[in-house]
């Protein structure tokens, strides 16, 4: 007979133990963990155990802080030692860019609740006296970071779960899954079957194999990492004898690796560059592999060693005692896959975790919260497995993983898109726009123009934390939209069609806004049960029973999956993902009508084609073009959703027609500046799962006269509102805010920026920021941290450009 439990966790590493512990702490004690051999047998046992809290994302930083909080209380709670060394972490900056990175991090650290500070070269040498780096410009010091014993902390969480009633089954290999008629899952193992409501996968190096049992192509592949332990280092022996504390973990970009104390010696962990990096088990973990290590590969990191011994001479004088080289999971963005599995009911992923020791506690806490409570107390969208679409196949993932880990220690910049696996998805406009100077970003696998280099200017990004020369070219694009016309390539947008006899009733019960009438368009939001924002859609009604939904590119798989889960069983609603069927151009600016009207017989006058309406027809020789009179810039404009086969013709026709009207090609960077001028909210930044729709300032898009998902929560929160997003003007010089920076009032942290950037219209930064209601009043004087400097800021009214919206209605 099969064992029946409420949830099964597959995998007994630190992450799996953390999830079991998290479920049990939330009262789900009828749960079981299945491990094919022994706890910690995969990547956990040989991990270095580092716990770095360094993350510029406010959400990621808070999640890591949760891991530390859990680990620090485990020993007292369970009686199990965890080997926690709160020694701190010191990151050396040898270049201005790296120091800028650390300054930018300090702009957000306080909003995460993380203790950190920039220290001088002299103080860095005091903190790490064995370091002989004469080129450093400064360092970032985290006093609360440290390292932990991987096996001990895993066993402690498993014990904590067992003490509460959860079960751990060792030597129990999962061999298959079966969905039963009642909706439960049967988990088949080498020691019998388990029937459960929820399946949670935390299988580490086996992620792709386990996922394949459920029809999932998990976008993660293991990489190989190695570190060495030295013989005793006399200087460390003397420090201990003299009663000095353990030195912090040292990271120096000079040798691209880390050093920390290990007993009386040092642990040296270099990061291999892309060309030397080795992957593991791309086609499945070998049957012989268990709690095993692989042969060392010193040649791959010989340069790291040479440079490290120059910077830390004591390292070079010590003999190498032991090498540890083994695999762990990696994803394209070096973040875990945590959340619902697409297309499957009650299947949850905790896979692709690059640093299971760092993430074990946090994933256990937040994934159990999502499963048990139905949502999260902070925004975990950055970890949602559905952030990757079906483009993230094994071949794509292989190259992106190699690139991600191979550049782990190199300098990265905001907005930087790396080159591996590109171009992959391109619209027919790609070659022509490349000829015209397009510099490309990537969204959801699609190439999308970032900005356009004029003739004679090299079409490539120069990245920095500060302003660069490309700003003048982006400025020209913005001015074209404000004064003439711009053409924006928008093909990567997510596009769904909803149809059927039950389409109106179904959509109306999901979206918070009233649905549009025939031929009209609205902006509407799919909320969570708690009143946060799951998705934002432009909704056009094409027929009485057909709707066209447009949302952000990143959300294609996620939004489609969320809507599919809500479909009625009676077949009255059909939902189609048509994102790859149609291209999209936006023609926007005061001369947009002059550019577009000669190409179509559709009457584009205000009377015939008012703002927020939709028509279908022919443009040039392109048939079945859906024209929506909406845009993201606050000017007169139309979005043209066209069958992709017509795109190249349509592009040429629009460029030819626009030549006499000053039409200019416009990229994402100009579009971002234009939308900030209008205080338009951006999904995942100014709207997210954590903030309520009221906090995001979406009042005019919420219709409480009807029922919709999240309505009850919004009703309850309406009278309890304590904070809200407002618009700020920031005096800037040389660098701009972009996200998560702290907002201060009289020296006190009072809020944070949700999104920001330079306004080429106004000549200063504009930001959206979450502030207490009493500080959100127009005229309130504030300060925003940018590269370590408090810049003067003030609250201004929303939509500083054309606040009445008259220009969009021209």
pLDDT single digits (tens) 564-622: 999 999 999 999 999 999 999 999 999 999 999 999 999 999 999 999 999 999 999 99
Instruction: Tell me the average pLDDT across 409-436.
Output: 97
Q: What is the pLDDT of residue 42?
A: 85
Q: What is the pLDDT of residue 526?
A: 98
Q: What is the C-alpha to C-alpha distance for residues 89 and 456, in angstroms, rounded to an integer?
A: 46
pLDDT of 41 over the 90 cut: no
Contact call for residues 769 and 728 (beta carbons, < 8 A) = yes
pLDDT of 2 over the 80 cut: no
Residue 154, by phi and psi: left (phi above 0), alpha (psi -120 to 50) or beta? alpha
Q: What is the C-alpha to C-alpha distance for residues 412 and 762, in angstroms, rounded to an integer?
A: 29
Q: What is the pLDDT of residue 606?
A: 97
Provide the pairing of β-strand 185-189 with 192-196: antiparallel
H/E run at residue 349: strand 347-351
Give the pair of three-digit tokens for residue 127.
């903190």
- For residue 43, the SS3 value is coil
Please list, residue by residue across 83-98, b when 16 or more beta carbons sit within 10 angstroms of its beta carbon and e when fewer do: bbbbbbbbbbbbeebb
Q: What is the pLDDT of residue 234?
A: 97
The percentage of residues in the chain with a pLDDT greater than 70, rounded to a whole number, is: 100
Q: What is the C-alpha to C-alpha distance for residues 358 and 376, in angstroms, rounded to an integer?
A: 19
Note the pTM of the prediction, 2 decimals: 0.97
- For residue 609, the SS3 value is coil
pLDDT single digits (tens) 130-160: 999 999 999 999 999 999 999 999 999 999 9
Contact call for residues 485 and 595 (beta carbons, < 8 A) = yes
Provide the pairing of β-strand 533-543 with 521-527: antiparallel
* pLDDT tier, 309 (very low <50, low <70, confident <90, very high otherwise): very high
Give the pair of three-digit tokens for residue 56.
């510029």
Output the CA torsion 392→686→344→397 (10° steps).
Answer: 10
Q: What is the C-alpha to C-alpha distance for residues 391 and 618, in angstroms, rounded to an integer?
A: 31
Q: What is the C-alpha to C-alpha distance for residues 256 and 412, in angstroms, rounded to an integer?
A: 13
Q: Say how many C-beta atoms besides its own lie within 10 A of residue 119's C-beta.
A: 17
Q: What is the pLDDT of residue 45?
A: 85
Give me the chain's average pLDDT, please.
97
Instruction: Tell me the average pLDDT across 716-731.
Output: 96
Contact call for residues 224 and 279 (beta carbons, < 8 A) = yes
Q: What is the C-alpha to C-alpha distance for residues 354 and 223, in angstroms, rounded to an integer?
A: 9
- For residue 756, the SS3 value is strand
In the Cβ-directed half-sphere of 439, how many Cα atoms lie within 13 Å? 23
Q: For 300-373, where are the alpha helices, taking DSSP H only?
A: 302-311, 313-317, 356-373
Q: What is the pLDDT of residue 110?
A: 96
* pLDDT tier, 766 (very low <50, low <70, confident <90, very high otherwise): very high
In the Cβ-directed half-sphere of 456, how many Cα atoms lie within 13 Å? 1
Token pair 């079409």 is found at 459
The percentage of residues in the chain with a pLDDT greater than 90, rounded to a whole number, is: 97
Contact call for residues 685 and 755 (beta carbons, < 8 A) = yes
pLDDT of 795 over the 60 cut: yes
Instruction: Tell me the average pLDDT across 537-557.
Output: 98
Angle between helices 150-163 and 356-373 (to 10 degrees): 20
Q: What is the pLDDT of residue 74?
A: 97
Provide the pairing of β-strand 533-543 with 347-351: unpaired
Instruction: Tell me the average pLDDT across 508-530.
Output: 98
- If you count them, how many residues does the chain have? 810
pLDDT of 91 over the 90 cut: yes
Distances in Å between the Cα of 574 and the Cα atoms of 343, 507, 542, 548, 707 are 16, 11, 15, 12, 22
Output the CA torsion 482→727→514→715 (10° steps).
Answer: 180
Contact call for residues 118 and 788 (beta carbons, < 8 A) = yes
List 4's β-bridge partners, or say none: 195
pLDDT single digits (tens) 168-205: 999 999 999 999 999 999 999 999 999 999 999 999 99
Q: What is the pLDDT of residue 784?
A: 98
Contact call for residues 361 and 67 (beta carbons, < 8 A) = yes
Q: What is the pLDDT of residue 212?
A: 97
Q: What is the pLDDT of residue 291?
A: 81
pLDDT of 1 over the 60 cut: no
Q: What is the C-alpha to C-alpha distance for residues 352 and 355, in angstroms, rounded to an integer?
A: 9
- For residue 206, the SS3 value is helix
Token pair 């929160």 is found at 717
DSSP one-letter code for 398: H
Provide the pairing of β-strand 192-196 with 249-252: unpaired
Distances in Å between the Cα of 42 and the Cα atoms of 52, 130, 148, 157, 492 are 21, 34, 17, 17, 39
SS (H, E, C) 107-151: HHHHHHCCCCEEECHHHHHHHCCCCCCCCCCEEEEECCCEECCHH
Instruction: Tell me the average pLDDT across 202-209.
Output: 97
* pLDDT tier, 287 (very low <50, low <70, confident <90, very high otherwise): confident
pLDDT single digits (tens) 326-385: 999 999 999 999 999 999 999 999 999 999 999 999 999 999 999 999 999 999 999 999
Instruction: Tell me the average pLDDT across 48-65.
Output: 96
Q: What is the pLDDT of residue 290?
A: 82
H/E run at residue 178: strand 174-179
Please list, residue by residue across 519-534, b when 16 or more beta carbons sit within 10 angstroms of its beta carbon and e when fewer do: ebbbbbbbbbebbbbb
Instruction: Tell me the average pLDDT across 769-779.
Output: 98
H/E run at residue 464: none
Give the pair of three-digit tokens for residue 536.
């934002």
Give the pair of three-digit tokens for residue 748.
């006190």
């Amino acid at each position: 007979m099969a064992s029946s439990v409420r949830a099964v966790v597959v995998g007994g590493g630190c992450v799996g133990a953390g999830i079991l512990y998290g479920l049990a702490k939330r009262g789900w004690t009828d749960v079981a963990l299945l491990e094919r051999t022994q706890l910690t047998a995969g990547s956990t046992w040989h991990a270095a155990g580092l716990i770095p809290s360094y993350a510029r994302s406010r959400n990621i930083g808070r999640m890591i802080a949760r891991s530390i909080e859990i680990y620090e209380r485990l020993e007292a709670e369970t009686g199990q030692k965890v080997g926690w060394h709160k020694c701190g972490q010191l990151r050396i900056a040898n270049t201005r860019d790296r120091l800028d990175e650390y300054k930018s991090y300090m702009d957000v650290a306080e909003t995460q609740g993380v203790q950190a500070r920039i220290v001088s070269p002299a103080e860095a040498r005091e903190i790490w006296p064995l370091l002989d780096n004469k080129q450093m410009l400064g360092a970032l010091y985290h006093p609360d970071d440290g390292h932990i014993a991987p096996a001990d902390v895993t066993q402690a969480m498993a014990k904590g779960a067992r003490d509460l009633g959860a079960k751990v089954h060792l030597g129990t290999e999962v061999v298959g899954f079966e969905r039963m008629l009642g909706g439960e899952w049967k988990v088949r193992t080498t020691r019998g079957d388990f029937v459960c409501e929820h399946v949670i996968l935390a299988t580490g190096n086996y992620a792709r194999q386990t996922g394949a049992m459920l029809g999932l192509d998990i976008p993660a592949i293991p990489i190989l990492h190695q570190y060495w332990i030295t013989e005793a280092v006399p200087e460390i022996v003397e420090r201990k004898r003299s009663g000095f504390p353990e030195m912090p973990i040292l990271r120096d970009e000079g040798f691209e690796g880390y050093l920390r104390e290990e007993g009386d010696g040092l642990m040296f962990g270099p990061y291999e560059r892309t060309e030397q990096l080795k992957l593991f088990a791309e086609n499945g973990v070998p049957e012989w592999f268990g709690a095993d290590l692989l042969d060392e590969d010193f040649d791959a990191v010989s340069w790291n060693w040479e440079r490290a011994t120059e910077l830390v001479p004591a390292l070079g004088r010590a003999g190498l005692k032991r090498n540890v080289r083994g695999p762990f999971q990696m994803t394209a963005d070096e973040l875990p896959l945590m959340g619902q599995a697409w297309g499957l009911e009650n299947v949850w992923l905790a896979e692709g975790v690059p640093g299971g020791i760092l993430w074990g506690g946090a994933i256990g806490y937040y994934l159990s919260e999502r499963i048990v409570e139905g949502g999260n107390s902070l925004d975990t969208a950055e970890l949602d497995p559905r952030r990757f679409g079906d483009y993230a196949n094994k071949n794509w993932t292989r190259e992106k993983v190699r690139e991600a880990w191979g550049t782990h220690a190199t300098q990265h910049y905001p907005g930087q898109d790396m080159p591996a696996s590109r171009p992959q998805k391109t619209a027919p406009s790609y070659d022509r726009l490349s000829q015209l100077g397009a510099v490309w970003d990537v969204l959801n696998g699609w190439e999308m123009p970032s900005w356009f280099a004029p003739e004679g200017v090299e079409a490539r990004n120069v990245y920095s934390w500060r302003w660069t020369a490309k700003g003048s070219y982006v400025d020209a694009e913005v001015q074209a939209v404000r004064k003439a016309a711009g053409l924006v390539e928008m093909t990567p947008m997510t596009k769904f069609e909803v149809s059927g006899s039950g389409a109106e009733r179904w959509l109306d019960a999901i979206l918070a806004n009233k649905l549009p009438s025939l031929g009209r368009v609205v902006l509407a939001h799919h909320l969570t049960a708690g009143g946060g924002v799951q998705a934002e859609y432009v909704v056009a009604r094409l027929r009485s029973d057909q709707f066209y939904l447009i949302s952000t590119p990143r959300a294609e798989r996620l939004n489609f999956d969320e809507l599919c889960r809500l479909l009625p069983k009676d077949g009255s609603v059909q939902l189609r993902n048509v994102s790859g069927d149609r291209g999209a151009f936006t023609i926007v600016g005061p001369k947009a009508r002059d550019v577009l009207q000669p190409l179509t017989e559709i009457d584009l006058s205000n009377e015939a084609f008012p703002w927020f309406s939709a028509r279908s027809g022919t443009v040039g020789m392109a048939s079945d073009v859906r024209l929506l009179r909406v845009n993201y810039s606050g000017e007169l404009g139309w979005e043209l959703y066209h069958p992709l086969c017509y795109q190249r013709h349509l592009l040429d026709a629009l460029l030819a027609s626009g030549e006499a009207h000053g039409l200019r090609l416009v990229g994402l960077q100009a579009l971002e500046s234009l939308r900030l001028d209008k205080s338009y909210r951006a999904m995942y930044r100014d709207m997210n799962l954590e903030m309520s729709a009221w906090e995001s300032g979406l009042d005019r898009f919420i219709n409480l006269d009807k029922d919709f998902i999240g309505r009850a929560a919004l009703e309850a929160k309406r009278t309890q509102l304590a904070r809200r997003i407002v618009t700020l003007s920031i005096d800037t010089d040389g660098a701009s805010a972009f996200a998560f920076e702290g907002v201060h009032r009289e020296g006190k942290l009072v809020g944070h920026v949700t999104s920001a950037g330079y306004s080429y219209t106004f000549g200063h930064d504009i930001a959206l920021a979450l502030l207490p209601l009493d500080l959100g009043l127009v005229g309130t004087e504030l300060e925003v941290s940018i590269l370590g400097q408090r810049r003067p800021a003030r609250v201004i009214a929303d939509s500083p450009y054309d606040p009445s919206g008259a220009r969009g209605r021209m």
